[in-house]
Amino acid sequence: MLEVVILAAGKGSRMKSAVPKVMHSLAGKPFLQHVVEKARKLKPETIHLVVGHGAETVNQHFNQKDIHSVVQAQQLGTGHAVAQVLDHLQDDSIVSILYGDVPLIQEATLESLNALVSSDSMGLLTVDLQDPTGYGRIVRESGAVTAIVEHKDADGTQRLINEVNTGVMAVSARHLKQWLPQLNSDNAQGELYLTDIIAMAAKQGVVINTVQPAHSWEVMGVNNRQQQAQLERIYQAELANTLMDNGVTLLDPARFDCRGSLTCGNDCVIDINCIFEGDVTLGDGVTIGPNAVIINSSIGDNTTVKANCIIEDSVLQSHCDIGPFARLRPGSQLADKAKIGNFVETKNAIIGKGSKVNHLSYVGDAELGDDVNVGAGTITCNYDGANKHKTKIGNRVFVGSNTALVAPINIEDGATIAAGSTITKNVGQDELVLARSKQKSINGWQRPVKKPK
Q: What is the DSSP string of 40-63?
A: HHT--SEEEEEEBTBHHHHHHHT-
How far, rounded to the nearest angstrom, does the alpha carbon of residue 358 sit from its chain's CA centroid?
A: 32
Binding residues for Mg(2+): 101, 223
Distance CA 183, CA 450 (A): 83
User: For residue 144, what are the β-bridge partners?
Assistant: 141
Binding residues for acetyl-CoA: 376, 382-383, 401, 419, 436
Q: For residue 158, what is the DSSP state?
A: G
359 included as an active-site residue: yes
Q: What is the DSSP string of 240-276?
A: HHHHHHTT-EES-TTSEEEEEEEEE-TT-EE-TTEEE
Distance CA 147, CA 127 (A): 15
Sequence-ordered list of residues with C-beta below 8 angstroms from that of 200, at least 6 positions apart, any chain:
179, 182
Number of Cβ atoms within 10 Å of the Cβ of 13: 11
**Which residue in 48, 53, 359, 389 is the catalytic one?**
359
Peptide bond before 330: cis, by omega within 30 degrees of 0? Answer: no
Peptide bond before 408: cis, by omega within 30 degrees of 0? Answer: yes
Q: How many helices (H) and strands (E) does the chain have?
A: 7, 37
Distance CA 294, CA 322 (A): 12
> Which are the catalytic amino acids?
359
